[in-house]
Structure 1
Amino acid sequence: MNITRRTFGTLATGAAAGLVAAPGILRAAPKIKLRYGTAFPPTHPGVTRIVEASKTIAARSEGAIDLQVYPGSQLGGESDMFAQVRGGALDLMSTSSVNQTIVPFAAINAVAFAFPTYDHVWKAMDGDLGDFVRKAFFEAGLFVFPKMLDNGYRNITTGSKPIVTPADLAGMKIRVPGNQLWVTLFQTLGAAPTPLNFGELYAALQTHIVDGQENPLALIQSSKLYEVQKHVSMTGHIWDGHHIFCNNRRWSAVPAEAQTIILEELSTAAVNERADIKALNEQAKIDIEAAGLTFHTVDKAPFRDVLAKAGFYTGWKEKFGAEAWGLLEKDVGTL
């Protein structure tokens, strides 16, 4: 199917805009059972809002649609679940860290220090840049829902010294997702990045396989990483979000009436999850400090200067391509 980015921007929501769900029709058809996998822990809003949506989907369809949610990497690590969705063995999953494997520029939202505020994030990811990425996944066989889940701005935690300057990262073994952009970022800053699935992280910190990690505050709290760390450095180096994926063939086999309900409810869940993350991050800082961790304010400018001088931005502009990079800079300014 040959579609433009502008066409794709309306493709995902077209059914919702043009159809009225007909539960009677759905009820007469075989029950639609869908499995949704995620690495987010059960208490994370990226799970609780999807579970809430699954209940609303069931109610709106009068039981015709059964969306089952499996949090905490129950169905495998993110790379495993992503492969399962690509192959059709799993219906839906959310992730950010492994999707670059089939769409190289899909990780463009994770360019270090690119998004100064959430206004910049959502202008880009709900707009032309997001549509550009979603269209590329569609052409690679994956339907991507129009609203991303917020995973938050990522900050560095450590078990020994805090990270307040680029020099503090020298030689540090830091866990990163299995994504080359993360690896390159921390290599450029002088660290020793160690890719690990999120489900392995707590044990790796506990046994000192890695010295530190980087994640949003809400995830640090919900995964209890504060139990095995001592410092939080507020680097905010990457904004991270999760796309919700479905195999194209599986999605096209879902009746249009059911697509309408699922699209609307998962989009609502994503928007609500964003508000949850904002509130949770504010409370997480209080709770994590109460658990004994020390927070450190970080001047981001020296980190960005190191990256710029080392050619990090020019290198990734070349890898992502001029069109994707131009859409990013349209919303965030020149990098």
Structure 2
Amino acid sequence: MQGTITRRGFAALAGGVAAALPLRHAHAAEFTFKIGTNVPASHPLNVHLSRAAEQVRTETDGRFEFRLFPNNQLGADADMLSQLRSGGLECFLDPGVNVLSTLIPSVSISGVGFAFKDYPSLWSAMDGKLGAQLRGQIGRAGLVVLDRIWDNGFRLITSSVKPVNQPDDLRGTKIRVPVSAMWLSLFRGLGAAPTSLNFAEVYSALQTKVVDGQENPPAIIQAAKLYEVQKYASVTNHMWDGWWFLINRRAWSRVPADLQDTVARIVNTACMAEREDVAQQNIALRTDLSNAGLVFNDVDQGPFRERLTEAGFYREWRSKFGEEAWGLLEEAVGPLA
């Protein structure tokens, strides 16, 4: 499939990306936009952003240039969002559930626990009416957001104690979650003991047994080498999150309309290719992570949804998001409770 990265070619490509950042060229561009991301240069997000940057430079005859700063080089996520809003940073790939939601709470609806059973239901919502409504709210908050949200993959649970097959297996488990009300609410509803930690602290917290487990997509587990300090990986697919491509409105308004159209087209096309690679890579990584020592088990989501319903999780978040947004979510995925 065009745009797909094989595992064999991925490492070589990623190495080239790392060596190429930030991008520099002989002639100064009329418009130079910095992009901040929070994952390593080897992640498909940055691989495809780097490709898009080269294509933008070529198709605009060098008039527009992206400079890519992966792996929180420009600061923590909250810092980059602040820089974006002030104009210190032109572009930020924002994780909506736990970062952008601090400014626009409704965007965290994409992270409702066990809402999406698969990618078709996910993209039906996020490329459809729900995504359009959320982009409208982001725009009203003073930011420019492009049409396609980038994929961070479905999340699974890892543990050093035992596999998670049913909700009772989480009872009392100390699990690290991002600093987010959504994550805390989800795992408390399942009976776990969630602890909010910034990602930079996760490896050491697992290594020293401050927490028993964590949850992330396979690509993050692999990139951060969390398999070194975990034993079990339970494929719960309990939550999805992605990155919104955000742009500072003042900086974007200075770019001529024809260049805006070219840049947006190229970035959105790169996003679609990134989605394909993340989905395929997360499947392939199951084999790689198993070879690294993680023991995988598949999970039936039904009992987890039932436990969350009993705990009032869906009722709580439905009231927070409102009937319109919740209705658009259920239109794509079916009734949640």
TM-score higher than 0.5 here? yes
- Conserved? CA contact 2:29–2:65, under 8 Å: no
The equivalences for 1:110-189 within 5 A come to 110-189=111-190
The equivalences for 1:175-324 within 5 A come to 175-324=176-325
TM-score when normalising by structure 1: 0.88
- Conserved? CA contact 1:77–1:198, under 8 Å: no
Instruction: Give the length in aligned residue pairs.
Output: 308
The code of the aligned residue for 2:230 comes to Q
Cα deviation 1:226-275 (Å, max 9, x = unaligned): 12211101111012211111122222222222211210111011100010
Q: Which residue of 1 aligns with 2:85?
A: 86
Q: Which residue of 2 aligns with 1:31?
A: 30
Aligned partners of 2:153 and 2:167: how far apart in 1? 22
CA shift, 1:200, in A, is 2.9
Aligned partners of 1:157 and 1:68: how far apart in 2? 35
5+ residue gaps in structure 2? 1-26
The code of the aligned residue for 2:206 comes to L
RMSD between aligned residues: 1.6
- Conserved? CA contact 1:73–1:199, under 8 Å: no
Q: Which residue of 2 aligns with 1:333?
A: 334
- Conserved? CA contact 1:39–1:199, under 8 Å: no
- Conserved? CA contact 2:29–2:62, under 8 Å: no
Q: Which residue of 2 aligns with 1:103?
A: 104
Identity across matched positions, percent: 45
The code of the aligned residue for 1:46 comes to L
Aligned partners of 1:67 and 1:131: how far apart in 2? 26
Cα deviation 1:176-212 (Å, max 9, x = unaligned): 1222111110111122222222233223322333221
The code of the aligned residue for 1:140 comes to A
5+ residue gaps in structure 1? 1-27
Secondary structure (helix, strand or coil) at the match of 1:330 reads helix
- Conserved? CA contact 2:29–2:64, under 8 Å: no
- Conserved? CA contact 1:159–1:229, under 8 Å: yes
The code of the aligned residue for 1:52 comes to R
- Conserved? CA contact 2:173–2:193, under 8 Å: yes
Aligned partners of 1:299 and 1:333: how far apart in 2? 17
Aligned partners of 1:211 and 1:254: how far apart in 2? 49
**Greater mean alpha carbon deviation, residues 130-139 or residues 296-305:** 296-305
Secondary structure (helix, strand or coil) at the match of 2:238 reads strand
Cα deviation 1:145-165 (Å, max 9, x = unaligned): 110111111000112222222
Cα deviation 1:39-79 (Å, max 9, x = unaligned): 11111101110011011111111222120111111111112
- Conserved? CA contact 1:177–1:198, under 8 Å: yes
Q: Which residue of 2 aligns with 1:69?
A: 68
**Cα gap change, 1:114 to 1:252, in 2 (>3 Å):** same
CA shift, 1:29, in A, is 9.9
- Conserved? CA contact 2:44–2:277, under 8 Å: yes
Aligned partners of 2:203 and 2:66: how far apart in 1? 29
Secondary structure (helix, strand or coil) at the match of 2:297 reads strand
Q: Which residue of 2 aligns with 1:24?
A: none
Q: Which residue of 2 aligns with 1:9?
A: none
Cα deviation 1:2-53 (Å, max 9, x = unaligned): xxxxxxxxxxxxxxxxxxxxxxxxxx99621111111111111011100110
Aligned partners of 2:210 and 2:34: how far apart in 1? 33
CA shift, 1:93, in A, is 1.1
The code of the aligned residue for 1:274 comes to R
Aligned partners of 1:285 and 1:55: how far apart in 2? 31
Aligned partners of 2:240 and 2:72: how far apart in 1? 22
**Greater mean alpha carbon deviation, residues 245-254 or residues 43-52:** 245-254
CA shift, 1:172, in A, is 2.0
Secondary structure (helix, strand or coil) at the match of 2:114 reads coil
Aligned partners of 2:73 and 2:276: how far apart in 1? 26
Aligned partners of 1:123 and 1:56: how far apart in 2? 28
Q: Which residue of 1 aligns with 2:20?
A: none
CA shift, 1:131, in A, is 0.7
CA shift, 1:91, in A, is 1.1
Secondary structure (helix, strand or coil) at the match of 1:42 reads coil
